[in-house]
Amino acid sequence: MSDRRVVVDVLKGETVFPPPIWMMRQAGRYLPEYKQARKQAGSFLDLCYNPDFAVEVTLQPIRRFGFDASILFSDILVVPHALGRDLRFEEGRGPLMTPIGADEVRNLDGSGFHDHLAPVYETVRRLRAELPPETTLLGFCGAPWTVATYMIAGHGTPDQAPARLFQHQYPDAMRDLLDRLAMRSAEYLIRQIDAGADAVQIFDSWSGVLDEASFETCCIQPVARMVEMVRDAHPDVPIIGFPKGAGSRYDRYRQQTGVTALGLDWTVPWSQAQALQQQGAVQGNLDPMRLVAGGAALDDGVDAILDALGGGPLVFNLGHGITPQTPVEHVERMIARVREAKR
């Protein structure tokens, strides 16, 4: 078997058919073995910060499905946690933090940042040693805007109104917060690459809630700074940007941030996706609900993506993370449908 890491080649612009495949949140609550490990770990943060558990749950979907890429198991909020903010996870409520005030941003303490995240770097090192040689290892972080939304509200909200209001009321504090998060997040990605990650992804899950001007200042500018920092350290490592909900702004996001590849959510029309693919690799973009539904809905969704985007550089993925209620057999069906596809 070849040790070629196909996902890396595709992210750099090569067309491979059938395309390589992985899933966002592929290590998670839809897998029975994950639920068992989660129970043994004691808490979600223990799962993230204990390399034994983090390596195990990262490898579980690779053992079961043989995905072409493995993504580090962690959480986007370990970055503010490493900056001294409190963080806990409650069942049914998700992440909870003490909301940060505008006058507290300047007090964010990054002195022990990398020491705090040392277990994550150890997890990456061990994963690269234990993964099959041909499996791409992806590192990741949250984009500054998306991380900031949780820091400001203290929890997830439907439309991130607290962060949007903060941005308008305290523009200087927001700029300072995004700058700090961009710098530290870029350092975090660089350390993951140093430890063995082949490529990295920046998740901007809440980019779609912003108006035009705010999208420029809160999404594009911080990520562009991150890309520049990572490229200075590792010029050849692909960077995937995933600005979920960016809509018509996807093209501008790619051009102005300089990301190598674009993660597309499931709402992106084929005509737009094909135009974006002319500029470089794309990743996505099956609706996760088609994966839950299975049957013809799943088959039709897979086939449509392959028909529209299979002629160019494509990493097959979902348009967002897999949901906990997804049947394992539907994942198996999706993988088979992609890998058995003919031109």
**Domain boundaries defined on the chain:** 6-102+112-339
For residue 22, pLDDT beyond 60: yes
- Whether 38 sits among the annotated catalytic residues: the reply is yes
Q: What is the mean pLDDT of residues 284-302?
A: 98
Question: CA–CA separation, 249 vs 216, rounded Å?
Answer: 10
Question: What was the pLDDT predicted at 338?
Answer: 98
- Whether 290 sits among the annotated catalytic residues: the reply is no
Question: What was the pLDDT predicted at 90?
Answer: 87
Q: From the candidates 49, 150, 188, 250, which is the catalytic residue?
A: 150
- Whether 25 sits among the annotated catalytic residues: the reply is yes
Q: What is the mean pLDDT of residues 101-117?
A: 95
Question: CA–CA separation, 14 vs 314, rounded Å?
Answer: 9
Q: What is the mean pLDDT of residues 102-128?
A: 96
pTM over the 0.95 mark? yes
Do 64 and 58 contact (CB within 8 A), yes or no?
A: no
Question: What was the pLDDT predicted at 248?
Answer: 96
- Per-residue pLDDT tens over the stretch 327-336: 999 999 999 9
- Per-residue pLDDT tens over the stretch 44-79: 999 999 999 999 999 999 999 999 999 999 999 999
Cis peptide before 285 (omega within 30 of 0): yes
- Per-residue pLDDT tens over the stretch 167-187: 999 999 999 999 999 999 999
Q: What's CA 270's distance to the chain center, in Å?
A: 22
Q: From the candidates 5, 30, 34, 38, which is the catalytic residue?
A: 38
Question: What was the pLDDT predicted at 343?
Answer: 83
Question: What was the pLDDT predicted at 20?
Answer: 98
pLDDT band per the 50, 70, 90 thresholds, residue 42: confident
Do 131 and 59 contact (CB within 8 A), yes or no?
A: yes
* CATH code linked to domain 6-102+112-339: 3.20.20.210
- Whether 254 sits among the annotated catalytic residues: the reply is no
Question: What was the pLDDT predicted at 109?
Answer: 87
Question: What was the pLDDT predicted at 110?
Answer: 87
Buried b (16+ CB within 10 A) or exposed e, 275-309: ebbeebbbbbbbbbbbbbebeeebeebbeebbebb
Range list of H helices, the chain:
6-11, 32-41, 44-49, 51-65, 78-82, 113-116, 118-130, 144-153, 161-169, 171-195, 212-214, 221-233, 250-257, 270-277, 288-293, 295-309, 328-339
For residue 37, pLDDT beyond 70: yes
For residue 1, pLDDT beyond 70: no
Question: What was the pLDDT predicted at 94?
Answer: 87
Please report, rounded to a whole number, the percentage of residues in the chain having pLDDT higher than 70: 99
pLDDT band per the 50, 70, 90 thresholds, residue 208: very high
Q: From the candidates 75, 198, 204, 265, which is the catalytic residue?
A: 75
